[in-house]
Amino acid sequence: MPDIETHDFDILIIGAGGAGLRAAIEAQAKGMRTALVCKSLLGKAHTVMAEGGVAAAMGNVYSEDNWKVHFRDTMRGGKMLNNWRMAQLHAQESPDRVRELEEWGALFDRTKDGLILQRDFGGHRYARLAHVGDRTGLEIIRTLQQKAVADGLKVFMEVKVLRLLRDADGVVSGAVAYRRPTGEFLSFSAKAVVLATGGVGKSWMYTSNSWESTGDGHAMALWAGADLIDMECVQFHPTGMVWPLSVRGILVTEGVRGDGGVLRNSDGKRFMFGYIPPMFAAETADSEEEADKWYDDHTAGRRPPELLPRDEVARSINSEVKAGRGSPHGGVFLDIASRRTPEDIRRRLPSMYHQFKELAGVDITAEPMEVGPTCHYIMGGVRVDADSTAATVPGLFAAGEVAGGMHGSNRLGGNSLSDLLVFGRRAGEGAVAFAEGRTGSVSLDEAEVAAIIDAAVAPLQREGGENPYAVHQDLQRTMQSLVGIIRTGSELEEALGAIEELEERASAVSVGGGIAYNPGWNMATDLPSMLTVSRAVAQGAINRKESRGGHTRDDFPTPDAEMGKVNFVQRIEQPDAAGVLGTPSVRTIGVGPEPLPVMPDELAALFEEAH
């Protein structure tokens, strides 16, 4: 073994957002020696940015709500590509997960009779999102963080995991990582590993995601031989900030629309009435008068088209801008100023008020916001067993954004925070069950550890190579322009070619300075995952020759019934040979359609009922 810091745990959890923390709390509660590893400081993960709320059919505002309605909304929002069992578990268990947070100290906003208040969001039939103003993610991550700290969880902060390791039988046995502040390498052996690494947004130019969202978990799972599914399904959130340029992509919560905000084009017209798809026509208002009645009483009118699922709204905004009816900086207008009192806006949306005031110099109580689509979330991810979250490689589990299936081809707002809680807990349980059943000692292959470290330090030793930031910027340009919100076959092929070139360039970058807290080097070690994930997204997008949810093909503009019955699965040919970026085995990603799990009749019947 190279002379590095070594650790041995029962359960290793990678990622300390909502899913990782919830998994850790579960594993810890079951008496497992548990380690939580995160790239940033504890409490800074991307969960902290979630704004609007956590979806759970508690029925506190509309007693008609129940898990079946939530399940149906989720499946329809995902255009039926979801793993039905995940969607079912999610809808059934999220109310308990939210109440449990309250028992751990979370303070959600209240209804008049003192219960947890719930707000409206796109695609949800009833007001269903438990929330704290527009900072729900902060409340959730802080609650979980404080619970985990109180339980004595061992946390490794600012540690980047490079690769997963498998034993001779192909069972995942640990990981190699480095400490960002010092550059020191460390290895973890563990009986089970949970991936909770979040998303992939940093491969695009305009994204709501932080620097951490480099798809490490997606890539490491693939490199370890696990299956990924639905990687073409990327959500562009309809409302990101568009101006100033430096804040372009930063999220504007859907809560603005849930609380009465409307979208207008440069003519001042509420254009969403022109974009109601047949699938949602029966439940969507067709006049402003009807839509406006709905906010106060959901039985008085049908829901406003501004609250259609995110894929529909994002595409509509895109079309308006393309047609020349956009705002001065290439977005559209999101107007709540003319619809609610300044007092209400500041109370319900304090952080949006703050964000626009300080970053854009815009007072949202007096003027409209300029917004446009921003790369926000990947529905695709590690293929898992719904109940245990087990990946297709033994010993590996995945929860939260890194896992695929739950959200189908499009995620509803609010379903991510609930996903984290439901499947974070299940991942903890699943990993514990696996660890308990694992016999024999867990050991790591020294040569493999050494090879991973050698590959990681190469950019520091190489001279005269390219700056990794330049490669990253070109990757972002490629993905933004060729694998963006609207795609076409020829551009996707072009993207694959460009990614191949970028892979060559990434394998030859060099970085100046030392190994301690060196963002240039950190970027160089993030590039392999970003490139692997970008390739997987482009490859998936080539194969799905239809438009569905977050995947829109200009050359195949409608859904295809047959394609709606399959997942596109990706895996690499020789997982363990894929140690170094640029080796042909990493590029050879197998892609094939496999049938979706079939929904039992009693659940299928829910989709035949009238609403």
Partner 1 sequence: MEEPTTDPHAEETAPSEETAEATNVVAGVPGSVPAPSTEDVTMVIWRGDEHGGEFATYHLPAQEGEVVLDVVHRVQATHAPDLACRWNCKAGKCGSCSAEINGKPSLMCMTRMDSLPPGEPVTIAPMKTFPVIRDLVTDVSYNYEVAKRIPPFEPRPKTADEEAAGGYRMAQIDVERSQEFRKCIECFLCQDVCHVIRDHEENKTAFAGPRFFARSAELEMHPLDVNDRRELLREQQGLGKCNITKCCTEVCPEHIKITDNAIIPLKERVVDASYDPIAWLGRKILNRSKRTAREAAASAPSKGPAAIQPSEPVSGVPVAGGD
Nearer to partner 1 by Cβ, of 473 and 490: the residue is 473
**DSSP-assigned states of every residue in 240-269:** EE-SSGGGTT-B--THHHHTT-EEE-TTS-
Based on the residue annotation, tell me whether 257 is a catalytic residue of this protein: yes
| Interaction of residue 162 with partner 1, rule CB under 8 A | no
Cβ distance to partner 1 smaller for residue 383 or 472: 472
Tokens 């921003």 sit on residue: 374
Among positions 550-589, residues that touch partner 1 (CB under 8 A) are none
Residue from the set 34, 40, 239, 318 that interacts with partner 1 by CB under 8 A: 40
- Work out whether 437 is an interface residue with partner 1 (CB under 8 A): no
Q: Residue 74 or residue 210: which is nearer to partner 1 going by CB? A: 210
Q: For residue 388, how far is the Cα from the chain centroid?
A: 19
Determine if 519 is a binding residue for partner 1 (CB under 8 A): yes
Which of 246, 299, 439, 461 lies at the binding interface for partner 1 (CB under 8 A)? Answer: 246
Report, in Å, the least distance between residue 511 CB and partner 1.
Answer: 6
Give the strand pairing for 381-382 and 228-229.
antiparallel
At 178, which helix (H) or strand (E)?
Answer: strand 172-179
Separation of alpha carbons 257 and 368, rounded Å: 12
C-alpha span between 556 and 440 (Å, rounded) = 52
Q: In 138-148, which positions are buried (b, 16+ CB within 10 angstroms) versus exposed (e)? A: bbbbbbbbebb
Catalytic residue among 90, 218, 237, 425: 237
Distance CA 346, CA 343 (A): 5
Q: Which amino acid is at 155?
A: V
Does position 42 interact with partner 1 (CB under 8 A)? The reply is yes
Shortest distance (Å) from residue 365 CB to partner 1: 16
**Could you tell me which residues come within 8 angstroms of residue 138 by beta carbon, excluding any fewer than 6 positions away?**
48, 132
Catalytic one of 179, 257, 548, 571: 257
Question: Tokens 């001779």 identify what position?
Answer: 168
Cis preceding-peptide flag for 394 (omega within 30 of 0): no
CB of 415 to partner 1, least distance (A): 20
103 binding partner 1? (CB under 8 A): yes
Residue with Cβ nearer partner 1 (110 or 477): 110
Q: Which is nearer to partner 1, 245 or 447 (CB)?
A: 245
Q: Does 421 bind partner 1 (CB under 8 A)?
A: no
Measured from the CB of residue 84, what is the shortest distance to partner 1 in angstroms?
Answer: 26
User: Which of 4-12, 219-227, 240-248, 308-316 is the region at the interface with partner 1 (rule: CB under 8 A)?
Assistant: 240-248
**What 3-state class would DSSP assign to 423?**
helix
Instruction: Assess 66 for contact with partner 1 (CB under 8 A).
Output: no
Which span sits near partner 1 by CB under 8 A: 286-294, 406-414, 426-434, 505-513? 505-513
Element (H, E) at 422: helix 415-437
Q: Is residue 480 part of the contact set for partner 1 (CB under 8 A)?
A: no
| 367 lies in the binding site for partner 1 (CB under 8 A) | no
Q: How far apart are the first and last CA of the chain?
A: 62
Can you tell me which of 366, 516, 577, 605 binds partner 1, judged by CB under 8 A? 516
Buried b (16+ CB within 10 A) or exposed e, 19-58: bbbbbbbbbbebebbbbbbbbbebbbbbbbbbbbbbbbbb
SS (H, E, C) 125-150: CCCCEECCCCCHHHHHHHHHHHHHHH
70 φ/ψ angles, rounded to the nearest 5 degrees? -65, -45
Which positions ≥6 away from 470 have C-beta within 8 Å?
Answer: none
Contact status: 5 vs partner 1 (CB under 8 A): no
Residue closer to partner 1 by CB (options 136, 265) is 136
Nearer to partner 1, 109 or 292 (CB): 109
Site membership for partner 1, residue 113 (CB under 8 A)? yes
Nearer to partner 1, 58 or 479 (CB): 58
Q: Which tokens in the block code for residue 164?
A: 């997963």
Q: From the CB of 49, what's the least distance to partner 1, in Å?
A: 5
Binding-site ranges for partner 1 (CB under 8 A):
40-46, 48-49, 58, 95, 99, 102-105, 107-110, 113-117, 132-133, 135, 137-139, 142, 146-147, 149-150, 157, 181, 210-212, 243-247, 250-251, 351, 354-355, 358-361, 467-469, 473, 511-514, 516-521, 523
Tell me the catalytic residues. Answer: 237, 257
